[in-house]
Structure 1
Amino acid sequence: MKKRSVKVLLIAGLTILSAGWATAQWTPFSTGATNGFIVEFAEHEGSVYACGFFTRIGGVQANHIARWNGATWEPVGGGLPDEGHSMLSFQGALHVAKYEWNADSNYLFRWNSGISTWSRLGSGFYLTTAEPGFSSNTPSLYALAEYEGQLIVAGEFDRIGADTISGIAAWNGVKWEPLAKGFAGYIEGGPEIMYPHSMVVHEGWLYAAGNFKTAGEVEVNGIARWNGSLWEAVGAGFNGAVYGIEIHNGELYAGGAFTQSGENELGFIAKWNGSEWINPGITIDYASTPPFPFAHTLRSINGSLYVLGGFDQCTDANGNDIPCGGILAFDGENWDGMDGGLAGEAEAIIPYGEGILVGGFFNQAGGVNVNNMALWGVLSSTIHTDAEIDVQVFPNPVQEALYLELPAGVADCEYVLYDAMGQPVREGRHSRHRPISTKGLAAGMYWLQVRTGTGVAMKKVMVGKAE
């Protein structure tokens, strides 16, 4: 966060039916109140996790982090002591970077789902200039990445344990170590705070972006790249903080609170053309300020680049206004406001089934009432409306083999087993008395779609751990 399908969609607690056409629309993801900003979604062991400024999500009490079990949100142990900002599944554990509001040390937290235990990775992170109670200038952690087999963390710190490490560090399996001299300073005209905010890996380079003047003593102005031994600038950088970076179709994009790079005018979103930062054909804004516009999160998903942040006005390269709010999609040629977008700000996004799940702080999506999260789903013409049929599944919970009891007179069927992310994990044809193997599947909730010549059924299946 900046400073300051159809039957399978039953997984989200709703049914969307369509026949003979394809479209996209906003729908609620879950019921129940969510009382704070959702900052990040991440996938870990086949489940969706959310973190942010909430203590209740989808009507469920959860301290700043929660797991979607396929039907409802559930707490992750005792949760986090402070608001979560970034998550990464790495070497079998979910790692979480969080905010810290005190001068005392912050830690990178690790959820060991196999034993349902939280632990802290390495020594504490400190900021020697911390101002407790201030909205920033405390040792918050913002970004996580995997680079060359190591876990990388970035944030607002200048010391880890007793070691001087500024803004970015790598976990060597035993302790945190620096990447050269790290980051220092801040972009002139912005907040007088050094903080890297986003990272992405591409073609052997680790890119990092945020609000910093130098990287390894090289002037970079908010964005730099690391080749494993040295930092270097990426063009002229920017005149404001960079909140998000992403690789889309092999090209680097950035978003933030900037309006210029060198002599090039920008509208809070930029594209690197190999030699300079240029406007990718879109400018965002607010109709009135404050609040001030920003692009926070950029994600490349299924051929589209999504930009999330705070804005309610969007203008393309031809001067055309695009109805928008907090989110945009780019297909490589055109920018899409996604049915008017959101009534509020967004920062979290993740693929879900045939669409995307979006989170933030908004109460409507495309005019539909929601609770800080919503699905943008694609209704596929390959799924048709059919009559519901009576199918029994057993045993349930299941460990290694699932059996079906089909309606009288039905000898076989087609089936698809979906995980909690809406992704198919088993599919094929089934005949009476033959099992469907669930061996090797992670424990958790799944959905089984069964289709015969007379109708369709969707059944919830719980897969347990093999004894």
Structure 2
Amino acid sequence: MNKPVFTSLLLAASIIAQAQPSNVIWNPVGGGVNGPVISVLKGGGDTLVVIGEFTEAGGVQANNVALWDGTAFHALGNGVSGNITSGAIVGQNIYIGGSSLNTNYTDVAKWDGTAWSYSTAFDGNYPQIATMFVHNDTLYAGGIVSGFLGSDDRVKRLDNGGWELVGSTLNNIINTLGWHNGQIVVGGEFTALQNGGGTNLNHVAILNGGEWGPLAAGLPSKVNALLDVDGTLYAAGDILNGGNAQFGLARFPENATAWEDLMPGATSYVNTGSGVDASIFALDHDGSNLFIGGDFDLGSGSLTGSYVARFDGVPDAFIPYATFNASVSALAHNTTLGLVAGGFFTQNGATAVDHLGHADISTSFGSANGSFPLFELFPNPATDRLSISLMHDAAIYATVELLTLDGRVLAGPIQLSAGKATLDVSKLADGPYLVRITGMNGLRAVPFMKQ
């Protein structure tokens, strides 16, 4: 049997990709709201609960909270006043967290379907909730207990109508809560327990035997959001701070021993958003894709965008998903609206999208994946040449194309020879691209980085 011959396939050396804005179409949800959105909660069916700083939702008077029933907005009583930070849905009840809710001494508001009631989770002179999280119908809150001697950063759990402490006090601010490997996880600006116990809590910790313990070596800077997807925990934080690179996005698979940095090359494709920093504030998963939202611009490569992006599975592979004019605070999704974003923005490109928009992610650009063919790319990232090799029968007919992330074909289709090819990518602008292989039974697109 003759040994397959490696054939070099040079793709149009003169091709230089010009950056294009994201072509994802965003529309306002029900006409949008007239002030910033802080949180978007997914209810049953097509319902959403929108929380923020607004007085109208879709033209309906609503005091900082509104219910979207899939067709129209509805006010929930007289709404909630105060400094709102977060929310959660537990069964048929809607909870809102913050400070000075209704009075100066409450940090929890609860809607039972008929009326609002107010209570306190964190004792002290100025109780504050920073974040809420629900798992298995149990409500958790991260917040601050304050008094004359200072403040304590703690996590509590609602149990039989009362709030009980979870773990010990941490030494700095709590920003987010999540779940991993059967335990509650906390993220924020802390580095240890307040009493000095514990090691390597660096910004993220997991409950272990009733006490906060390290999750590997932690993360190098503050954590803003946590999300577990099928056993893999994702953590998001600052991408750039004062122009200096931070971790941005990292993941921790089940039974892992270290965090994986998912934005190691961020300085080559991320610009600051509305200020001097670039940050991720929100994470969401639709069952197939992970989305990030925050205050950032993706400014290099074949596609540009701002404030929302899709993570494509490998480090530094992010597809811009919006061209908003201000930051995103919240992401959610449902079957009818697709991806939903809330925040400070009022425009996506030339389209008015007042603080709350949606995009049909099922018809937006991206990589199409069928059962065929599996192939390898090497090296990735690539500088001059990118080698492609099918991982099974090299004799089958297949073609290769080079695409921008929004699906525009830069070169090809050209037939592979002996299941292999080499692409000349030396003239491409730095940034993410797609290689698509098409065969008789389907197609598959895989991202790669040009650097």
TM-score by length of 2: 0.64
Q: Does 1:361 align with 2:344?
A: yes
Query: In the TM superposition, what are the counterparts of 1:82-161 in structure 2 within 5 Å?
Result: 82-100=82-100, 104-113=104-113, 116-121=114-119, 123=120, 125-126=122-123, 139-147=127-135, 150-158=138-146
Distance 1:36 1:292 in 2: 23
Distance 2:308 2:333 in 1: 15
CA contact (8 A) 2:273 2:296 kept: no
Distance 2:24 2:229 in 1: 21
Name the counterpart of 1:372: 355
Opposite residue 271 of structure 1, the aligned amino acid is R
Name the counterpart of 2:155: 168
Give how far 1:342 is off.
Answer: 1.6
Distance 1:352 1:149 in 2: 20
Give how far 1:67 is off.
Answer: 0.8
Distance 1:361 1:289 in 2: 11
> What is the CA deviation profile of residues 226-275 of structure 1, one whole-angstrom value per residue up to 9, with x for unaligned ones?
13512111233334321101123432221112669xxx964422223623
Q: Does 1:271 align with 2:251?
A: yes
Instruction: Indicate how the Cα distance of structure 1 residues 202 and 288 shifts in structure 2: closer, same or farther if over 3 A, else same.
Output: closer
Give how far 1:367 is off.
Answer: 3.9
CA contact (8 A) 1:240 1:258 kept: no
Query: In the TM superposition, what are the counterparts of 1:402-441 in structure 2 within 5 Å?
Result: none
**More displaced stretch, 208-217 vs 222-231:** 208-217
CA contact (8 A) 2:99 2:107 kept: no
Counterpart secondary structure, 1:218: coil
Name the counterpart of 1:343: 325
Query: In the TM superposition, what are the counterparts of 1:289-328 in structure 2 within 5 Å?
Result: 290-313=275-298, 320=301, 322-328=303-309
Match of 1:255 among 225, 236, 250: 236
Instruction: Indicate how the Cα distance of structure 1 residues 59 and 291 shifts in structure 2: closer, same or farther if over 3 A, else same.
Output: farther
Give how far 1:117 is off.
Answer: 0.9
Q: Does 1:199 align with 2:185?
A: no
Give how far 1:165 is off.
Answer: 7.1
Instruction: Indicate how the Cα distance of structure 1 residues 169 and 378 shifts in structure 2: closer, same or farther if over 3 A, else same.
Output: closer
In the alignment, structure 2 segments of 5+ residues that lack a partner are 1-22, 365-451
Name the counterpart of 1:453: none
Opposite residue 88 of structure 1, the aligned amino acid is A
Q: Does 1:210 align with 2:210?
A: no
Opposite residue 222 of structure 2, the aligned amino acid is A
Distance 1:104 1:299 in 2: 33
Opposite residue 152 of structure 1, the aligned amino acid is Y
Q: Does 1:226 align with 2:204?
A: no
Give how far 1:36 is off.
Answer: 1.8
Name the counterpart of 1:183: 170
Aligned pair count?
A: 325
CA contact (8 A) 2:81 2:101 kept: no
Give how far 1:86 is off.
Answer: 2.1
Opposite residue 340 of structure 2, the aligned amino acid is L
Opposite residue 133 of structure 2, the aligned amino acid is A
Name the counterpart of 2:37: 38
Instruction: Indicate how the Cα distance of structure 1 residues 127 and 103 shifts in structure 2: closer, same or farther if over 3 A, else same.
Output: farther
Instruction: Indicate how the Cα distance of structure 1 residues 215 and 288 shifts in structure 2: closer, same or farther if over 3 A, else same.
Output: same
Opposite residue 331 of structure 1, the aligned amino acid is D
Give how far 1:51 is off.
Answer: 0.2
Instruction: Indicate how the Cα distance of structure 1 residues 302 and 182 shifts in structure 2: closer, same or farther if over 3 A, else same.
Output: same
> What is the CA deviation profile of residues 379-412 of structure 1, one whole-angstrom value per residue up to 9, with x for unaligned ones?
669xxxxxxxxxxxxxxxxxxxxxxxxxxxxxxx
CA contact (8 A) 1:266 1:279 kept: no
CA contact (8 A) 2:295 2:307 kept: yes
Instruction: Indicate how the Cα distance of structure 1 residues 356 and 311 shifts in structure 2: closer, same or farther if over 3 A, else same.
Output: same
> What is the CA deviation profile of residues 261-291 of structure 1, one whole-angstrom value per residue up to 9, with x for unaligned ones?
xxx9644222236233332146274357734
Distance 1:295 1:306 in 2: 10
Distance 1:166 1:175 in 2: 18
Opposite residue 44 of structure 1, the aligned amino acid is G
CA contact (8 A) 2:132 2:140 kept: yes
Distance 1:289 1:380 in 2: 29
Distance 1:330 1:180 in 2: 33
Name the counterpart of 1:241: 222
Percent identity, aligned pairs only? Answer: 21
CA contact (8 A) 1:165 1:177 kept: no
In the alignment, structure 1 segments of 5+ residues that lack a partner are 1-22, 129-137, 185-193, 382-467
CA contact (8 A) 2:122 2:143 kept: no
Distance 2:330 2:39 in 1: 4
Instruction: Indicate how the Cα distance of structure 1 residues 265 and 250 shifts in structure 2: closer, same or farther if over 3 A, else same.
Output: farther
